[in-house]
Chains A and B, each alone.
Chain A
Amino acid sequence: DAKTTQPPSMDCAEGRAANLPCNHSTISGNEYVYWYRQIHSQGPQYIIHGLKNNETNEMASLIITEDRKSSTLILPHATLRDTAVYYCIVRALEMDSNYQLIWGAGTKLIIKP
């Protein structure tokens, strides 16, 4: 079972910030929060990851609460090309013997003109 809970769908106006929430109340101390996205008919794409500090890269920002039980992915200026399914996953940084992430159903983000 997925260790995260995300809303099934969200809308956002083009040019606005898209804020995607994720609950991960059972996260362990050594587990990172990863975000991937999957644009229709394409393979998943890595976006960002973090442990406990907020992180920012050229694609997005990741805000993790102090208790680490939830986080928010922020796309600062959403464009139509950001329409995709966004997956929040918690996992240790290194791949263990299972070599897998546990993927939930994700949030379908629709950017509207």
Chain B
Amino acid sequence: DAGITQSPRHKVTETGTPVTLRCHQTENHRYMYWYRQDPGHGLRLIHYSYGVKDTDKGEVSDGYSVSRSKTEDFLLTLESATSSQTSVYFCAISPGQVWTEAFFGQGTRLTVV
């Protein structure tokens, strides 16, 4: 497997609390992505990064923020978690702008109660 680790793997949190998910890579890839996946659906892009401190919004970015202060780490923050953000979150990395080289992490299952 590509060197990509998500933490935590599972989390239960209360509505209104802040939550930060971490994606760590050892591949030195330039591009990193955060997706969410809900039952019966494919993946939807939340935010992505194309370099240190370079990030942009994806399809479903409302309620989420990201930061990338180092090449290897990409953080996803839910400032005030809501029940609609209960989902499985996947991080992905790629060395360039070619989809065949993208690798996904194992996912973080987040439940907001």
A residues contacting B by CB (< 8 A) are 2, 34, 41-46, 49, 87, 91, 93-95, 98-106
Which chain B residues border A106 with CB–CB below 8 Å? 42
Does residue B62 face the partner (Cβ distance < 8 Å to A)? no
Q: Among A34, A44, A49, A102, which residue has the most Cβ atoms of chain B within 10 A?
A: A44
Number of interchain pairs (Cβ within 8 Å): 62
The 6 closest A-B pairs by CB, nearest first: A103-B42, A43-B104, A100-B45, A95-B97, A103-B43, A99-B48
Contact B104 A104 (CB under 8 A): no
* Assembly CA distance A19 to B13 (angstroms): 42
* Assembly CA distance A89 to B80 (angstroms): 33
- B73 → chain A, closest Cβ, in Å? 18
Contact A99 B98 (CB under 8 A): no
